[in-house]
Amino acid sequence: MTSPTALAGPRHACVIGAGIVGAATAHALAERGWRVTLVDAHAQPGRGESLGNGAQLSYSYVEPLATPDALKNLPKWLLLPDSPLRWRPQPRFSHARWLSEFVAACQWPTVRRTSEQLLSLAEESRRTLHRWLAALPGSAEATRHTQTGKLVIYRKPEALAGVQRQIEWQRAWGCAQAIVGADEVRRLEPALAATGGGPIAFGVWTATEEVIDAARLAVLLAQASGATLRLGRPVQRLVRDAAGRVVAAELAGGERIEADAIVMAAGPATVQLLKPLGARPPIEPIKGYSVSLPIVDDAAAPRVSITDNGRKLVHARLGDRLRVAGFAELIGMSRVLPPARIEALCQSVRETFPGACSFDDPQPWTGLRPATPSGRPQVGATRWPGLWVNAGHGALGLTLSCGSASLLADLMEGREPAVDPTAFRVTG
C-alpha cells in the first residue's frame, strides 16, 4: 500500500543529524536511489550522542524503561545518593506531559505490546545492519563489530522467577536465551571469577548479541551513503513555503539547503528545531555516562558483553579498550560531567574486573538520549508536508538505528515496510 505522503524517487533528502540514526537514515535513502545531504553541528559524524554510547547491540533486550517495576523502585532510586536514576523537575508543560505518559505506560499489557513492537524493529535492524556490513569490505574491523554474546548477571536470587517468565515470553518472538548458574556464568566469562560487588546468583546468556562502535559505524555509513556532508554547521531553522510545506533547512551563516524531504534525526535537538512549527513531540533527553578504559591485562578483561543488572551498567570490549556505560538522568539538557559519576563507573570496573584496565586515561563521556515515554521511537511523516522524523530511540538508538532507518526509507518511498509503521508513528 502506498502512503499518501510518500515521495517518488529519485529525490533529494536533507537529513539533519549525523549520529548513528541520521547516518543510517542517509545510507538507507541512498540505497534506494535518493540524493542525500547530511547536516550536523559537529565536525564529524557520530560525535554527539553516539560518541561514547554503551556499544551493545542488544536485539533481545528491548524492554522499555517504563515498567511497573521501574515505577515501584522509583522512590528508592530517587533517594539514594548513588542511584542509577535521577530526576530534576523541569518547569515545562511538555515535561509534565512526558512524565504523565511515562506513568501511564507502566502497565504490563502496555510493556508487553511495546516490547513486541521493539523486538520486531530490532530484528529488522539486525538484518539491515548485517546486509550493509557484508556489502562494505573491511567494515567489521573498521567498526570493531563482533558477535561476542551477552551475559546479564543478577546478584539477587529472588529475581529468578521474573526473569524466567520474561525469557519464556520472549522465546515466542525468536529470542534464544538461557538462564545459567553462577558456575556457568564464570565459564562463559572467566574474567568474572574475581568479580566484586557481591556474589553472582545467576545469569542470562544470549549468544547472538553483538558489539560495535557507534561513532565508527556512523562515519562508515555516512561515507558509504555518498551523501553531501555539511558538518560543523548547526541548523538554525526549518523553512516553509507559502503552502506550509517544509522545503529547506537554514544553517548557521545563512546557507539554505533546499530538498524534497527534510528528515529530523537530530536526537534531543529535534524537539528544539520542531518547536517553532508548533510541534511538541513527546521526547525528553535522558542523560547517560560512559568511560572507555585502556585494557592492560587481556586475561582479566571480559570477552563477552556484560550487563550488571543490579548496578544498571553495561560493559563492552572494543578492541583494546573496555567501555562501561550507565545511569539515566532526567534533568534537562545539561552536559556537565560530574566527577562522582565517572568515578562510579571506574570503581565498578575495579571491582568487577580487577587489574583489567588502566585508569590513567579514562576518556569520560556524557550524552543525552532522546526518549519517548513508551520507549518507542517516532518514525515517519509529520503533519507538515515535506517533513519527516526519525528520533526518540532512548537507550536503544544503536540497536534500533538501522531498522528505523529502513522503516523510514520505505515509508518515504511508499513501500510496504517489514514492521508495523503504526507502532512508531509521529505524534505531537
Question: Grid coordinates standing for 150?
Answer: 551477552
Position 360 scores a pLDDT of 93
Q: Give yes or no for residue 351 having a pLDDT over 60.
A: yes
Provide the whole-model pTM.
Answer: 0.95
**Is the predicted pLDDT of residue 144 greater than 70, yes or no?**
yes
Helix (H, G, I), strand (E, B) or coil at 279: coil
φ, ψ of residue 264 to 5 degrees: the values are: -90, 110
Residues 326, 345: contact at Cβ < 8 Å? yes
**From the CB of residue 184, how many other CB atoms can be counted at a distance below 10 Å?**
15
Mean pLDDT, to the nearest integer, of 286-302? Answer: 97
DSSP string across 64-93: -S--HHHHHHHHHHHH-TT-SEEE---S-H
List the one residue out of 101, 9, 52, 423 whose CA is nearest residue 215: 52
Q: Give the max Cα distance, the chain.
A: 68
Residue 208, CB-side half-sphere exposure with 13 Å CA sphere? 13
> What kind and span of H or E run contains 104?
helix 93-105
87: β partners: 330
Q: 110 to each of 6, 71, 98, 140, 406, how far by Cα in Å?
A: 30, 14, 16, 37, 25
Give every CB contact of residue 236 below 8 A, 6+ residues apart in sequence: 250, 251, 252
Residue whose grid cell is 505490546: 113
Segment 159-174 mean pLDDT: 91
- Kind plus residue range of the DSSP H or E element containing 116: helix 108-134
What local confidence, expressed as pLDDT, does residue 361 receive? 86
Could you tell me the pLDDT band of residue 74, with boundaries at 50, 70 and 90? Answer: confident
Query: What architecture is domain 75-106+145-210+284-371?
Result: 2-Layer Sandwich (3.30)
Task: Provide the CA 306 distance to its chain's centre, in angstroms.
Answer: 17
C-alpha span between 126 and 419 (Å, rounded): 13
Q: Are strands 313-318 and 321-330 parallel, antiparallel or unpaired?
A: antiparallel
Q: Is the pLDDT confidence value at 94 over 50?
A: yes
What is the residue extent of each domain of the chain? 75-106+145-210+284-371
Please spell the DSSP secondary structure of 8-19, one letter per residue: -SS-EEEEE--S
Q: What is the pLDDT of residues 367-408, one digit of tens each?
A: 999 999 999 999 999 999 999 999 999 999 999 999 999 999
Q: Is residue 126 predicted with pLDDT exceeding 50?
A: yes
- Check residue 4 and give its pLDDT: 46
Whether the upstream peptide bond of residue 282 has omega within 30° of 0, thus cis, is no
pLDDT at 73: 78
Share of the chain above pLDDT 70, in %: 96
Work out the burial of residue 107: count CB atoms within 10 Å of its CB; fewer than 13 is exposed, 13-18 middle, 19 or more buried: middle
> Per mean pLDDT, which range of 11-15, 150-154, 195-199, 325-329 is the poorest?
195-199
